Amino acid sequence: MIKGASRDVKPSKIQRFPLILDSGFLILYPMPPRLHRVPYPGGTLVLGRSTVVMGVLNVTPDSFSDGGDWIDPDRALRHARSMVREGARIIDVGGESTRPGSRPVPAAEEIRRVVPVIESLAAEKVLVSIDTSKAAVARAAFRAGAKILNDVTALRGDPAMARAAARAGVAVILMHMKGRPRTMQRNPEYRDVVEEILEFFREILRNAWRAGIERDKIILDPGIGFGKSPEHNLEILRRLDEFCDLGRPLAIGTSRKSFIGRALGRRVDNRVSGTAATVAAAILRGADVVRVHDVREMSDVARMTDLLK
Ligand code: HH2
């Protein structure tokens, strides 16, 4: 129970807790955990009970933290299997880096990288998401067995994407990005970063619905590091609970990102502890899915943090 004068309580908190007025004081009771059932072809992802760990599989030569490590399909598969053993419930397969300054990859090349890996994982009944913003790549990935679309452009990168996702009936992760990867880190500015992302989410939820994507299939992601300064990223994480008011589950990808390196003075291969702190904080403030590279460590963090909610 939280007690305090009404002026101390932010509107977003009031919406989430039933309250009783008691002589000028608010008495706030936490609500039971929110449960979301997110359907995908052939199954349902239940979110809100225990945190879902999404393991990152970058089949790219140039990703910011593991570029080139998994470009060979056999190595990629072995790595995906070990992430599943270590606790990943989703494997997020990507064939194009979106790191700051990166250049787009032709669709045919992206398809060549991701499809064989997705086919093998799907045959092993692994739940796969495809990290792409190109409709042609998404369609090939759905045919190969991917059940979730993870689009860092939130359906704005390719006009054919919304329809491709709606037709396939996949679950969809829609991420906020300000600008484009090539230029997004050049001095990003916001009036209020959380308010602007909330407005963006409201608009893309409407657009997705108009395109025929049911609301219950959508997971939202504020896009840590995508057109944000280190301070913006910290503020998003401090105020993550404000996104819960939209009534959709939240995914978050802080893993090994540069704001952690900046805060701690650590290089990309030495950010596991910093990532752990961000994952725990995000879970306590409402994250349902955590997108991570270090699956063994972050599965422990998630399980332990779930017990502390
Ligand atoms: N971050 C990256 C890529 N895809 N998808 C979602 N939903 N959320 C994220 O935060 C996110 C994402 C960037 O990380 P990574 O894939 O490791 O690097 P790269 O883009 O260089 O391949």
CA–CA–CA angle 129, 134, 136 (5° rounding): 90
Contact 58, 66 (CB under 8 A): yes
**257 catalytically annotated:** yes
Q: What angle do CA 143, 146, 150 make, to 5 degrees?
A: 125
Nearest to 163 by CA among 145, 180, 138, 140: 138
Mean pLDDT of the residues in the chain = 91
| Closest protein CA for atom 3 of ligand 1 | 98
**Which numbered atom of ligand 1 lies nearest the CA of 99?**
21
Q: Is the dihedral of CA 67, 171, 80, 140 positive or negative?
A: negative
Angle, in degrees to the nearest 10, between helices 135-144 and 161-168: 20
CA–CA separation, 227 vs 245, rounded Å?
23
Is the CA virtual torsion 46, 48, 51, 57 positive or negative? positive
Q: Which range (9-18, 106-115, 150-159) has the least confidence? A: 9-18
Query: What is the maximal distance between C-alpha atoms in the chain?
Result: 66
- Rounded distance between C-alpha atoms, residue 189 and residue 167, angstroms: 36
| pLDDT, tens only, 175-227 | 999 987 777 777 888 999 999 999 999 999 999 999 999 999 999 999 999 99
Is there a catalytic annotation at residue 103?
no
What pLDDT score does 6 carry? 45
Which amino acid residue places its CA nearest to atom 9 of ligand 1? 253
Instruction: Find the catalytic residue in 113, 217, 257, 271.
Output: 257
Of the listed ranges 60-64, 199-203, 232-236, the one predicted with least confidence? 60-64
